[in-house]
């Protein structure tokens, strides 16, 4: 088990994290819930109402793949079955592996990468192109992967739920 320290954030810090995340993710998070931080070898993970919804990557606070409200609302990049093993290893999502694009986004926006068969969230990424350009392009990178199933954050979050 990796080393960790878990503690509740002070109200002001918690409100700051929740407000920033709400603005960046374009959804309203409950700022009345207890916000705890888990400091670990893999980084800081924020628990909101006991759920691991956010994590800190560098200076950015990003949603985890378990943040179902964000996953449901975010624009989707649907990939073919051949792309899945690569996405699950953190590879950049390339245009040839994309089956369709759902929702609108600009370059730099957060998107969720899902598989075409079950629609399961495989990765959180940052769009390299806007939605319209991405739909037209036939080659090259479309999404830079930031967090994915089986990465250190994902594996660590699974230990929190045990």
User: pLDDT tens digits for 125-157?
Assistant: 999 999 999 999 999 999 999 999 999 999 999
Q: Give the domain extent around 31.
A: 4-66
Residues 99, 81: one domain? yes
Q: Structural domain tally of the chain?
A: 2
- Compare 30 and 149 and report the one with higher pLDDT: 149
Q: Does residue 2 have a pLDDT over 70? A: no
CA–CA gap between residue 55 and residue 124 (Å, rounded)? 12
Residues 97 and 131 in one domain: yes
The average pLDDT across 111-127 equals 97
In a domain, 159, yes or no: no
State the pLDDT at residue 100: 97
Asked whether residue 127 is domain-assigned, the answer is: yes
**Do 44 and 93 fall into the same domain?**
no
pTM attached to this predicted model: 0.92
Q: Which of 32, 66, 100 is the last residue of a domain?
A: 66
pLDDT at position 75, please? 97
CB 54 within 8 A of CB 45: yes
* Mean pLDDT within 17-44: 85
Q: Are residues 73 and 141 part of one domain?
A: yes
Q: Which of 28, 45, 66 is the last residue of a domain?
A: 66
Q: Is the pLDDT of residue 55 over 70?
A: yes
Percent of the chain predicted with pLDDT > 90: 72
The residue from 66, 92, 109 where one domain ends is 66
What is the CATH classification number for the domain harbouring 38?
3.10.450.120
């Amino acid at each position: 088990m990796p080393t960790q320290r878990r503690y509740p954030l002070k109200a002001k810090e918690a409100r700051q994290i929740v407000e920033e995340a709400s603005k960046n993710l374009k959804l309203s998070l409950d700022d009345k819930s207890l916000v705890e931080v888990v400091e670990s070898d893999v980084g800081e993970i924020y628990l909101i109402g006991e759920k691991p919804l956010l994590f800190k990557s560098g200076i950015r606070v990003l949603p985890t793949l378990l943040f179902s409200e964000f996953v449901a609302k975010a624009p989707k990049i649907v990939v073919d079955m051949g792309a899945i093993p690569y996405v699950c290893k953190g590879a950049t999502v390339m245009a040839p592996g994309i089956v369709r694009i759902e929702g609108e986004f600009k370059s730099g926006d957060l998107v969720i990468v899902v598989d075409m068969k079950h629609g399961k969230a495989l990765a959180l990424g940052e769009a390299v192109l806007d939605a319209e350009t991405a739909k037209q392009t036939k080659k090259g990178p479309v999404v830079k992967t930031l967090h994915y199933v089986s990465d250190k954050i994902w594996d660590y979050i699974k230990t929190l739920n045990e």
